[in-house]
Chain A
Amino acid sequence: MSERVDGWRWGGRIFLVLLMVFTVMPMAWMVLTSLKTQFAAMQYPPQWWPKEPTLENYTKLLNPGNPVGADFLRYFRNSMYVSVVTTVLGVLVAVPAAYAFSRFRFPGRTFLFFAVLLRNMFPAVVFLMPLFVLMRWLGLVGSHGSLILTYLTFGLPLSIWLLKGFYDNIPIQLEQAARIDGATRFQAFVLIVMPLSTPGIIATGIFSFIGAWNEYVYAITFLNNKERLTLPVGIQKFFAEFATDWPGLMAATFLMSVPVVVLFLVLQKYFVKALTEGAVKS
Chain B
Amino acid sequence: MARVVLQNVMKAYGTVDAVKDVSFTVEDGEFVALVGPSGCGKTTTLNLIAGLIPMSGGNISIGDRLVNDLDPKDRDIAMVFQNYALYPNKTVFKNLAFPLQMRKLPKDEIARKVNEAAKVLDITHLLQRKPRELSGGQQQRVALGRALVREPRAFLMDEPLSNLDAKLRVQMRTELKRFHQDLHATVIYVTHDQLEAVTMADKMAVMNGGSLQQYDSPKNVFGHPVNTFVASFVGSPAMSLVPLTLSGDTLQGNGWSLPLSPANARKAQGSSTANVILGARHSTIRLHGAAAAGLVPGRVYTVEPTGDVTFVQVHVDGAIVIVSLDPSVPVRTDTNVWLEFDQSRLHLFDGATQMALPQRP
- Measured CB to CB, the residues of A under 8 A from B are 171, 173-174, 176-185, 187, 192, 195-196, 275-282
Contacts and interface: CB of A to CB of B under 8 A. Distances in A.
A276 B85 CA distance: 11
Given A281-B83, A281-B84, A181 B131 contact: no
Interface string B70-106: 0111010111010111111100000000110011000
Q: Range of interface residues on chain B?
A: 20 to 34
Given A275-B88, A280-B84, A183 B139 contact: no
Given A278-B86, A280-B85, A281-B83, A179 B132 contact: no
Contacts of B99: 180-182
Closest A-B pairs by Cβ, 10 of them: A278-B132, A182-B102, A280-B83, A279-B88, A173-B85, A181-B99, A278-B131, A177-B85, A179-B72, A277-B132
Given A182-B99, A182-B102, A282 B89 contact: no
A263 B71 CA distance: 41
A171 B99 CA distance: 19
Interface in B118-140: 130-134, 136, 139
B7 interface: no
Nearest to A183: B102
B352 interface: no
19 contacts: A174-B87, A176-B50, A176-B52, A176-B79, A177-B85, A177-B146, A179-B52, A181-B146, A182-B99, A187-B102, A275-B89, A277-B88, A278-B88, A278-B131, A279-B86, A280-B81, A280-B85, A281-B163, A282-B83
Interface core residue of B47, B86, B103, B134 (most chain A CB under 10 Å):
B86
A174 B85 contact: yes
Nearest to B53: A176
Contacts of B86: 278-280
Contacts of B134: 278
A36 B99 CA distance: 63
Given A187-B102, A280-B84, A282-B83, A180 B78 contact: yes
A118 B20 CA distance: 42
Nearest to A176: B52
Interface of B: 47, 50, 52, 71-73, 75, 77-79, 81, 83-89, 98-99, 102-103, 130-134, 136, 139, 146, 163
B139 A180 contact: no
A184 B88 CA distance: 19
A279 B89 CA distance: 8
Contacts of A178: 87, 98
Nearest to A282: B83
A180 to B, nearest CB: 5
Interface core residue of A187, A195, A275, A279 (most chain B CB under 10 Å):
A279
A183 B88 CA distance: 17
Contact of B85 (A184, A185, A187, A279): A279
Nearest to B152: A180
A262 B35 CA distance: 57
Nearest to B130: A278
A182 B88 contact: no
A182 B89 contact: no
Contacts of A177: 79, 81, 85, 87, 146
B142 to A, nearest CB: 11
A173 B160 CA distance: 13
A173 B73 contact: no
A205 B132 CA distance: 27
A280 B72 CA distance: 21
Contacts of A176: 47, 50, 52, 72, 79, 81, 85
Contacts of A187: 102
A190 to B, nearest CB: 12
B88 A276 contact: yes
A62 B286 CA distance: 99
B92 to A, nearest CB: 11
A180 B83 contact: no
Nearest to A274: B132
